[in-house]
Structure 1
């Protein structure tokens, strides 16, 4: 029988400039089909809010998520699966930097959610896996493509074909995560530090950097460089760039406005 529910709490902090999303569905935070829908709805609201500059995704409970609701998945008509992943991977399309704080299990669609974000910060006890092969299936929400691009084709093939888990230290060493924290307390402190850094930068520069990186990484080098040059020229005319230069010369903290 499929699971119901899929609460994703949305709370704002830092005077509304940070949107905090919290997965809250029991100890293992199993992701239901409803969770997918709610994730897309939350990001639609966040992306439309010009005051939000940074997004952080966390999870209540002992684990980030053990993966999806298999029973619920089986009730979906196969023809409807062609668009699978357009909801849970909303972070990849958001113009705002998205940070994921991971503690414990990060499996299946949960890992695909994390892979669609920009910065992944985890703990030493975190474990990552795409175990769909054990069900006679493959990842269906971007897992095969994003994991291969992050940790390399050889490693991705091994871990997807075998379903073997990736440890917290391996994730850090291979570039899957940016930090490997000792525990949940250190995880939150590290996330707060990164958020503080991002809030100090120009929103338009952050948005542009994310777009150039995402669109250019799979293009030929000359195409990526051309994209970078055009984006650089566009930012050269921004108010934030003028403010940044002025603040640098006056030895003060810049006041960016996102224009």
Structure 2
């Protein structure tokens, strides 16, 4: 499975750790493919597992989003292929018959924020920050955020987050409906997540799967495909590449006048 993803079992609960702390657990191709495979494996093979927890390694981030070093310089076709890998991983989480908890401590930004949105339960520390900064670098959310965020928090809050690219703190995330419970102190986060996971895992696996299926709101294929195409064009555009480069170089982007 490699070192980019760590997996640990505690009874009926499996914890998947995004293990790139030096890169703020950024999502590259290997991480996305391995994450999708692990979620699939739990659904199809690990019958004893009744709850999944996804967390980020280190003390700074759940995930700061897609790995910009990987998407820098991509043309539209290459960017589209990368985004579709993200869709596969995140859709696997959303459609998992085993409940998935996001344990967020630190940054949940961009693709990491979109990964969190696909989880069924979100529990975060009070120092966490959330946002979709793509608009600040000439791109758009590409891992389902344009579809899932308005469904989660409503049109007004969703468009404010997406259009401004602003970050919000954990208290604001709770107020607008991003979190399942109020934010907890960092030191208490593992206990809060463990208690919730074990409570969920005490239920019937079949019953939990049926509940998720009954409650699931479909994210339509055409809408996600349209988002993926537009996100790929944005990444490959002059402004998109300027935004990605300027971020890496820690300067303000200089966008075209078009």
What is the TM-score normalised by the length of structure 2? Answer: 0.77
**22, 29, 32: which one pairs with 1:33?**
29
Give the distance between the partners of 1:132 and 1:217, measured in 2 at CA. 21
Q: Structure 2: which 5+ runs fail to align?
A: 221-258
Deviations 1:189-220 (A, max 9, x none): 111111121122121111111111113799xx
2:193 maps to 1:191: yes
Given candidates 105, 108, 126, the residue that maps to 2:107 is: 105
Any idea what SS the aligned residue of 2:21 has? coil
Conserved 8 A contact 1:8-1:35: yes
Residues in 2 aligned to 1:156 and 1:215: alpha-carbon distance in whole angstroms: 17
Report whether the alignment pairs 1:47 with 2:34: no
Q: Distance in 1 between matches of 2:93 and 2:3?
A: 17
Q: 1:216 to 1:30 in 2, by over 3 A?
A: closer
Q: Retained in 2: the 8 A contact 1:126–1:168? A: yes
Match for residue 158 of structure 1 among 157, 160, 167: 160
For 1:217 and 1:131, the matched residues in 2 are separated by 22
Match of 1:181, SS?
coil
- 1:76: Cα distance to partner? 4.6
- CA-CA distance at 1:77 after TM superposition: 4.8
| Equivalent position SS for 1:88 | helix
| Residue equivalent to 1:227 | none
RMSD (CA atoms): 2.0
Aligned match of 2:16: 21
Q: Is contact 1:10-1:21 (8 Å) kept?
A: yes
Shift of 1:23: 0.8
Take 2:202 and 2:20, find their aligned partners in 1: how far apart are those partners? 33
Q: Which 4+ stretches in 1 moved above 4 angstroms?
A: none
Cα contact 1:6–1:34 (8 A) shared by 2: no
Rounded to whole Å, the distance in 2 between the matches of 1:128 and 1:181 is: 12
Of 126, 129, 132, which residue of structure 2 is paired with 1:130? 132
After TM superposition, list the pairs within 5 Å mapping 1:192-207 onto structure 2.
192-207=194-209
Aligned partner of 2:226 in structure 1 is none
Once residues 197 and 143 of structure 2 are traced to their aligned partners in structure 1, the CA distance between those partners, rounded to angstroms, is 27
Mark the runs of 5 or more structure 1 residues left unpaired by the alignment. Answer: 219-259
TM normalised by structure 1 equals 0.76
Contact 2:21 2:56 (C-alpha < 8 Å) held by counterparts: no
List per-residue Cα deviations over 1:76-135 (Å, max 9, x = no partner): 552351625323302112111000100110000001111111000001111100101111
Structure that is richer in helix per residue: 2
Out of 98-107 and 65-74, give the one that drifted further.
Answer: 65-74
> Contact conserved, 2:33 with 2:85, CA < 8 A, in 1?
no
